[in-house]
Structure formats: C-alpha cells, structure tokens
Amino acid sequence: MAEPDLLAPGAYDACALCPRRCGARRSQGRPGRCGMTSELRVARSALHFWEEPPISGDAGSGAIFFSGCPLRCVFCQNHEISGGGFGLTVTTARLAEMMLELQAAGALNVNLVTALHFAPQVRDAVLLAREAGLEIPIVCNTSGYELAEVVRALSGTVDVWLADFKYADAALAGELSAAPDYPEVASEALEAMLEGVRAAGGRALGADGRMLRGVIVRHLVLPGHVDDTCAVLDRVWELAGNEADLSLMNQYTPNEACRRAGGELSRGVTEEEYELSLCHADDLGFERIWWQEGGTVSESFVPAFDATGVRGPELGAPAPAQGV
C-alpha cells in the first residue's frame, strides 16, 4: 500500500510535517514548533558563493532562506530567521518566480535553505517553476532533522540533498538542539534521501562539475566534541559509504549567547580537533571529502537577512553566507 501524501491539502490543519509532530493548527494561524503558521515566509533570495564546490561553483548557488526551524540549536548563527521569525510572507506563485529569477541570474541551482516545514508550498512552487521553464537542479539544504516520509514525498522534487548530520549522541542532541531523537531521525532521513537518489539513477555531475543529483552530508565540528564527530562519521559511513559526499566544516563561530555562557562552545574549533576529525574521515574510506582551510571562523559567514530578492526581481550583490 502506498504511503499517504503528507503534503496534500490539509497538511497544516494538525501539523505533522517535522519530527516534532506538534499537531499545531497552522492553517488557523497558530504557529507550530517551527515558529511558523501556514503562511510561507522567506528572508532572502540571492546568489550564494560559499557552499561546497559542486553546489556553488564559480557562478553561485541560488539560495532561498526560509523563516522558522524545527530545531533550537543553542549555537545557531541564523537565529534571526530560525527563531526570530524575520522574513516576508510570500505566495507560492511568488516563490516560483524567485526560483526563475535565480536561474536568470545564472545560479547553478535553486538552494532551498531550511524549507521543509513549508514542504507543501515548496513542492507546488517547484512544479510551477518547472512548468514555466525552470531547468536547474533543486537543492534541499536541511538540518537533517526531517521525517523520512516527507523526504520520500519530495523524491521527485528534490535533485540534491545537502543535509546536516549534527549528532550521534542523543544526550548531546537534547542538550544543544532540544532534540534527543535527532540521531535516529537523521539516520532514517539520510536513508530515504539515498533511496530517492538511487531510484533516479544515482549521483550525477554536469560537465562543469556542478552536482545534478546526489547527497552531500555536512557535519559541523563542535569545540570539545570531537568524540561525537567521529561517531557521526562512523554512522554516515555505515549508512552511505561513498554514495554520499562528505563536507566536514570547521567554521563554528560562537554566537553571543554561547560567548556569555562560557565553556567549550564559547571558543572556536582548534586545529588539532579539526585534524583529528579529517583523519578519522579519511581512515573510514570517504573518497569525496570537502574541507575548510584555517581562518573560516567568522560571523561574515552569516548572510544579511534583509529580504533581498524576496519582494521583487532585484537579487542584490553577492554576500557571504554559511557553507564551505
């Protein structure tokens, strides 16, 4: 028997789109655990040059940043939109137009950043944009905290999964992101992503090196938690092996709350911590590892959330953003 379509009309009546399954009546204007109602909200739409090479290339990725997030990471760099709610309300048709505008600006892909608490409108917007001439791949840039059922429902919509795998330890996930079920959820979501890519023909690159189809697993090394990083790498290797690219990031930057709290999260990642992480990934056998050179710890990685590209066709100048 086929799975019910979680993205069908009525999905926001008692929301179960994310692992929180909070049941919020978002269609009646009541925010879910993600902080959002059923009104689609976007904070920025612009070319983005600091993702992994197969995503940004030289031309840039067309990043659309959505408001809200089901996680509550204490170290979040995008708290202005993830928890603060900044963004403008847009229609599904306007979201489709943004995708087409990014394509016209030369973007290698449309990069949907933290979008799946709006999965019904996202799927509809992609369909509208494709009918209107969208040809570039759709990248889903996710925290990894997604329901496998929602991932499967989007298997014909998303071409590339750019997915975090933040934690292997449930206690750490509970402490830092209020999600002790994160390791289990992220594992199931990654398996669903891999299944979808396999069914579509497997990993594929364009002649220019851009990723047309595939999975990139990201992990941000946290100061003082290299043991969990190694456990994450073990889990990803077990689930994906070399079917997925690995992006191992050292760009952790303590936000104001972490600096005030003190402790390990008030500092950056040391060279030793990062080297231990890279060596473990190499020892496991990952063949495609994206890494960052020193000096990446900077708040300049946080984009300007100023509604660039949301109101109309002006995309604005390139701005630094999170990523490799």
Average pLDDT estimate for 253-257? 93
pLDDT band at 301 (very low <50, low <70, confident <90, very high): low
pLDDT band at 206 (very low <50, low <70, confident <90, very high): very high
User: Does 42 fall in a domain?
Assistant: yes
pLDDT band at 13 (very low <50, low <70, confident <90, very high): very high
Phi and psi (nearest 5°) for 138?
Answer: -100, 120
Beta bridge partners of 141: 113, 162
Average pLDDT estimate for 18-36? 97
How far is it, in rounded angstroms, from Cα 145 to Cα 132?
A: 31
Q: What is the pLDDT of residue 311?
A: 84
User: Does 294 fall in a domain?
Assistant: yes
How far is it, in rounded angstroms, from Cα 112 to Cα 106?
A: 16
User: Does 310 fall in a domain?
Assistant: no
Phi and psi (nearest 5°) for 133?
Answer: 115, 10
CATH number of the CATH domain containing 170:
3.20.20.70
How far is it, in rounded angstroms, from Cα 218 to Cα 5?
A: 28
Q: What is the pLDDT of residue 296?
A: 53
Per residue in 209-246, pLDDT (tens digit) is: 999 999 999 999 999 999 999 999 999 999 999 999 99
Q: In this structure, are residues 251 and 208 in contact, taking their beta carbons and an 8 Å threshold?
A: no
Q: What is the pLDDT of residue 84?
A: 80
Q: What is the mean pLDDT of the chain?
A: 92
pLDDT band at 318 (very low <50, low <70, confident <90, very high): very low
Q: What is the pLDDT of residue 322?
A: 31
Beta bridge partners of 290: 247
| Residue 152: domain span | 35-301
Total domain count, the chain: 1
- For the chain, give the percent of residues with pLDDT over 90: 85
Which H/E stretch holds residue 62? strand 61-66
Q: What is the pLDDT of residue 218?
A: 98
CA distance between the termini of the chain: 41
Average pLDDT estimate for 101-116? 98
A 10 A CB-CB count for 97 gives: 19
Average pLDDT estimate for 83-90? 90
Per residue in 52-65, pLDDT (tens digit) is: 999 999 999 999 99
Q: What is the pLDDT of residue 77?
A: 87
User: Does 15 fall in a domain?
Assistant: no
User: Does 68 fall in a domain?
Assistant: yes
User: Does 20 fall in a domain?
Assistant: no
Q: 80 pLDDT exceeds 90?
A: no
Beta bridge partners of 113: 65, 141
Q: What is the pLDDT of residue 321?
A: 30
| E strand map for 70-226 | 88-89, 110-113, 138-142, 160-164, 204-205, 211-220
Q: What is the pLDDT of residue 315?
A: 41
Q: What is the pLDDT of residue 20?
A: 97
Lowest mean pLDDT among 17-31, 252-266, 287-301, 310-324: 310-324
- Cα 148 to Cα 154, 193, 260, 272, 310: the distances in Å are 10, 8, 36, 35, 29
User: Does 309 fall in a domain?
Assistant: no
How far is it, in rounded angstroms, from Cα 320 to Cα 302?
A: 7
User: Does 292 fall in a domain?
Assistant: yes
* Interacting residues of 100 by C-beta distance below 8 A, sequence separation 6+: 129, 132, 133, 134
Which of 135 and 302 is assigned the larger pLDDT? 135
How far is it, in rounded angstroms, from Cα 291 to Cα 89?
A: 36
